[in-house]
Amino acid sequence: MPTKASGVESPHACKQYAIYDFMKRNSDNVIIVDEVMKVYKTRKIEYTAIRNISLTVKTGEFVSVLGPSGSGKTTLMNLLGTLDRPTNGKIFIDGVDTSTLNERELAILRNRKIGFVFQSYNLVPYLTAFENVSLPLMVDGIDTSENLKRGKDLLSEVDLEGKMHKKPNELSGGEQQRVAIVRALINSPPIILADEPTGNLDSKTSDAVMSVLVRMAKENNVTIVMVTHEEDIAAYSDRSVYLKDGVVEREKRLKK
């Protein structure tokens, strides 16, 4: 916590204290986005993809992010996932100010705290479903028999018991996405970030995948932030946040 130096508090220290105080009072906020801005700079132009977004997400909450193409949804997800850094503002993940971490520390934070689910399932093509699910455990050096059994149990829970030894190209889109969801959950991260997880699926398969995602997240008190274009898919969430031109245009509470 910042301290007063010679009786004068700098605006920066005041701001730091305000954030600290806010977090203390809202300790169940697993994600805090504080006045975040993202400017993409190329040699010729600067483009402000996100301007001054502030957002909090509570532990166990499921937030959907909607908005037109180019409104900044993926940019926001990349910032939340610490895959990219904000130009201005701060992001706190599970109480950690990510702006204070170096690249190596961010990689550790990502591995421990965040499971990613993408539109294209991003499975390793030459590994089986079970091996794909086990991969994060191996990266973390925690591929114990107990954890590997958990992988098998989770695959069974998403009805893939008989397909554990199949490779991605032998699985349907919905099956591949269920493998990707189990892979995202295998390290028991507190947060799942999903960018259009049903974007490549038909509506029936989308519903099946969403049911699995919601059930598993609620069972494990996992927080989800999910980008979608579809109101039907957003209806699974607790709250929808609508982006337009890089700002939060409005929010809609759906549950609780």
Ligand X SMILES: Nc1ncnc2c1ncn2[C@@H]1O[C@H](COP(=O)(O)OP(=O)(O)OP(=O)(O)O)[C@@H](O)[C@H]1O
List residues near ligand X by CB under 6 A. 40, 47, 49, 67, 69-75
Contacts with Mg ion by CB under 5 A: the residue count is 2
Cβ atoms of 248 and 55 within 8 Å: the answer is yes
Min dist. Cβ of residue 81 to ligand X (A): 13
Determine if 200 is a binding residue for Mg ion (CB under 5 A): no
Cβ atoms of 113 and 92 within 8 Å: the answer is no
Cβ neighbours of residue 100 under 8 Å, at least 6 residues apart? none
| Contacted entry of Mg ion, ligand X, none for residue 132, CB cut-off 5 to 8 Å set by kind | none
Tokens, residue 120: 């294209």
Tokens, residue 115: 């499971």
Residues 57 to 76 in contact with Mg ion, rule: CB under 5 A: 73-74
Give the residue with the Cβ less far from ligand X, 72 or 174.
72
Give the residue with the Cβ less far from ligand X, 76 or 216.
76
- Coil, strand, or helix at residue 251? strand
Find the angle CA(229)-CA(83)-CA(194) to the nearest 5 degrees.
30
Give the residue with the Cβ less far from ligand X, 22 or 118.
118
Min dist. Cβ of residue 183 to ligand X (A): 22
Q: Where along the sequence are the contacts to Mg ion (CB under 5 A)? A: 73-74
